[in-house]
Structure 1
Amino acid sequence: MNLKTINTPPLDVIRKSNKLIEARYRLSVWEQRLILTLLINISKQDEDFKRYRIRVADFASQWQLESDNSLYEKVHEAADSLVGRTLQISDDPTISKTVSWLAYVEYVRGSGVVELEFHNALKPYLLQLKKHYTEYQLGHVVNFKNQYTIRIYELLKMEVFRYKSVGKFSKDFKYEDLRVLLAISKKEYLLFGDFKKRIIAPSVDEISTHTDLEITEVRYGKTGRKVTDITFCVTIRTADELPTLQLEMEEEPPKEQVHPIVERLISLGFAVETASKYKTRYGVKRIERNIAYTLAKQQEGVVKDIPAYLNMAIKEDMGGGWEVVKTKAAEEKTQQQTVSHKREEQAELAHLQKMADMAGVPLETLLPKKGKGGN
């Protein structure tokens, strides 16, 4: 078994067969993020799927998410639900193939790691792609929040290679066909106005804001009073226009020296952005005492998932009360040692006094002589 730990590659490129893009399926935003995280790690030379190990902290950084308790739960839930997710692919108009997305999923609670592997039935649609495929950069879809935006973006992106020299194109869909592609049941969005508000409008906004495509107009064709056709009018942004667009979502400020407490949080599984944010929000002292508290609890066998537990400890300042108790215990121990030392001194003095009385000499003659200072 090939097992590969996923780290962010230098260039996050997603490649899909057009048949896969036109397949019928529906995934949540979190499920799509896991699938795309796997896709960017497929090489053009790969002949078989590998089993990928994804660190949740890396996943959070890659998708610009805050690494907290809810993130771990959402990734776990998405990984579990993907086991049963299928898609329908039509290579032949008379045949519809139902294929599973994944062949293997493992998520060990507290590990902060999930292992995933694509189903072998998807090999023709993801591996050794030579023609009839579409590719794009992950950076264009990182900021998508609507679950349908990625699907619509990919369906439009398929057309770019035909019209790149022209710089614009239009893509027509039958309304009912688009619903089928997005796996929207007949009981959902019964009113076209709801479909437009919940699916079309947010997708148009996100695609135009974050990607290399700008949807300049959406036309709605009617048969009588009923909308039957949807046309997306799209402008392909040029290379000169892309840097400005990418600057808004990808450019990082000049690198400053990383604070030690930020490095410490990162080493304990926090995403870079979250670590920096926590340093500003909670302060170094609070973070330090909660790190100490979490590691102490780990030694006791209480903590299994350090990032999740430490995140909770910092937010609730669980280490604050623990530090007070610890300080009080240290003070009591010091006081006990002082009292014990005084008792020993008193006992020794009484013993010397008894010896002096028996010898008939002053006590001072038996006391240790103090050294003189100076030269």
Structure 2
Amino acid sequence: MNKNYLVTKSNYFIMNSSYDLSLEEQKLILTLASMVQPEDEEFKPYDFKISDFMELLGVDTKTKYTEIPKITKELMKKVFEIQEGKKLIQTAWLSSAIYEKGTGMVTLKFSPDLKPYMLKLNNMFTQYKLANILNMKSKYSPRIYEFLKCNEFKKQEYIEIDIIDLRKLLQAESIYPKYNDFKRYIIQRAQKELKKLSDIKFEFEEIKTGRKVTSIRFYIKSNIKVKDETSITKLDTEAPERLDYSYKYIKEIKNIISNHKITSLEAQKIYDSARGDLKQIHKVYKYFKNKKSDNFVGTMISMVKPGVFQEPKANIPTDDFNNYSQRQYDFNDLEKGLLEWQNSEE
């Protein structure tokens, strides 16, 4: 168990499931979710050291060996709903919780009904480090974090949601019935916690119908201050071969650049620089794949930018490097510039 483990959920599940869990219950479920491996075909029984779990949550209590059984027992009673087209699925989180006296261990297993939303996900999923939510104090903050995180990839200026729908998502229809209280104790508190603890932060704008606030516009921003500690792209060795929204494209980029071993982070930088244009990436790599350079990835990042690379004409005299006539680049100067650009991005 480690705070750098990854939690993976389908975006559909995040946006269409409705549940009310205590903060401790949420952290237990998310810790369990972080132990699921990308290659798992079925949910396995996952073993927890009770002491490790309590330490991960920052709880120091002599009654920890009685507290966890209470939490799992209550958790197994809580049935929640997932809207799946015309189907309404009612399910529990756990199918079993097994304790063996004298071992200090508990074995937990997810309900098989959750398999489509947490296993073998190839696209439209959200993934983040467990560290992003472990230190949150409000039970609504992890849910708001997941809602914003799964919309982060859309690259829209803002995400708008009706107050009624936001309350339903948070299972807070009857909590803080006055909007000002709802804003103060749920939205603004989550705003502070995300800014302090997670890899994203947000600003929000109130949209009114008459005098009544009827919807919220969330402006999602990368939280550079915290991102180094919580982003799954900080160390590629800590991440499985799939990253947030661009996993599908990163895999394709790695296939295109098959002659060079590049990390998922490097592939994502190339993808972002090309603004998602895989044809441009393929075109540039075709001509630069045999170039010897101390900064091959940096060269690719620079060349795939829209408008930078011009495909050569076949009837123009060629040079030894790429067998065609091209713009003349001083690659040493280029690499120095790239290093400055990359440092400014960080």
Q: CA deviation at 1:87?
A: 2.2
Partner residue, 2:6: 13
Cα gap change, 1:89/1:52 in structure 2, threshold over 3 Å: closer, same or farther? same
Could you tell me the TM-score, scaled by structure 1's length? Answer: 0.57
Q: CA deviation at 1:37?
A: 1.3
Paired AA for residue 91 in structure 1: E
Partner residue, 2:190: 203
Partner residue, 1:46: 40
Alignment equivalent of 1:150, drawn from 129, 142, 153: 142
For the residue of structure 1 that corresponds to 2:196, the secondary structure is helix
Partner residue, 1:80: 73
Paired AA for residue 123 in structure 1: K
Partner residue, 2:27: 33
What is the correspondence of 1:184-333 to structure 2 with a 5 Å cutoff? 184-186=172-174, 188-215=175-202, 217-237=203-223, 242-243=227-228
For the residue of structure 2 that corresponds to 1:141, the secondary structure is helix
Partner residue, 2:309: none
Cα gap change, 1:241/1:201 in structure 2, threshold over 3 Å: closer, same or farther? closer
Q: CA deviation at 1:35?
A: 0.6
Partner residue, 2:52: 58
Cα gap change, 1:242/1:185 in structure 2, threshold over 3 Å: closer, same or farther? closer
Partner residue, 1:180: 168
> Does the Cα contact within 8 Å between 1:30 and 1:74 map onto a contact in 2?
no
Q: CA deviation at 1:54?
A: 1.0
Number of matched pairs: 230
Give the Cα–Cα distance (whole angstroms) in 2 for the partners of residues 174 and 185 of structure 1. Answer: 12
Q: CA deviation at 1:118?
A: 0.5
Give the Cα–Cα distance (whole angstroms) in 1 for the partners of residues 13 and 77 of structure 2. Answer: 18
Q: CA deviation at 1:114?
A: 2.1
Give the Cα–Cα distance (whole angstroms) in 1 for the partners of residues 151 and 41 of structure 2. Answer: 27
For the residue of structure 1 that corresponds to 2:60, the secondary structure is coil
Give the Cα–Cα distance (whole angstroms) in 2 for the partners of residues 16 and 73 of structure 1. Answer: 30
Q: CA deviation at 1:108?
A: 5.1
Identity of aligned residues (%): 32
Paired AA for residue 105 in structure 2: V
Give the Cα–Cα distance (whole angstroms) in 2 for the partners of residues 101 and 37 of structure 1. Answer: 13
Q: Which has the larger radius of gyration?
A: 1
Give the Cα–Cα distance (whole angstroms) in 1 for the partners of residues 71 and 13 of structure 2. Answer: 20
Give the Cα–Cα distance (whole angstroms) in 1 for the partners of residues 204 and 170 of structure 2. Answer: 18
Partner residue, 1:120: 112
Give the Cα–Cα distance (whole angstroms) in 1 for the partners of residues 135 and 59 of structure 2. Answer: 13
Q: Deviations over 1:90-110 (max 9, x none)?
A: 221x43221211111234566
Q: CA deviation at 1:214?
A: 1.7
Cα gap change, 1:73/1:224 in structure 2, threshold over 3 Å: closer, same or farther? farther
> Does the Cα contact within 8 Å between 2:51 and 2:64 map onto a contact in 1?
no
Paired AA for residue 221 in structure 1: I
Paired AA for residue 39 in structure 2: Q
Structure in which a larger fraction of residues adopt helix:
1
Partner residue, 2:60: 67
For the residue of structure 1 that corresponds to 2:176, the secondary structure is coil
Cα gap change, 1:241/1:57 in structure 2, threshold over 3 Å: closer, same or farther? closer
> Does the Cα contact within 8 Å between 1:30 and 1:75 map onto a contact in 2?
no
Could you tell me the TM-score, scaled by structure 2's length? Answer: 0.62
Q: CA deviation at 1:199?
A: 0.9
> Does the Cα contact within 8 Å between 2:129 and 2:230 map onto a contact in 1?
no
Paired AA for residue 162 in structure 2: K
> Does the Cα contact within 8 Å between 1:149 and 1:202 map onto a contact in 2?
yes
Give the Cα–Cα distance (whole angstroms) in 2 for the partners of residues 241 and 205 of structure 1. Answer: 13
Q: Deviations over 1:317-360 (max 9, x none)?
A: xxxxxxxxxxxxxxxxxxxxxxxxxxxxxxxxxxxxxxxxxxxx
Unaligned runs of at least 5 residues, structure 1: 1-6, 248-375
RMSD of aligned alpha carbons = 2.2
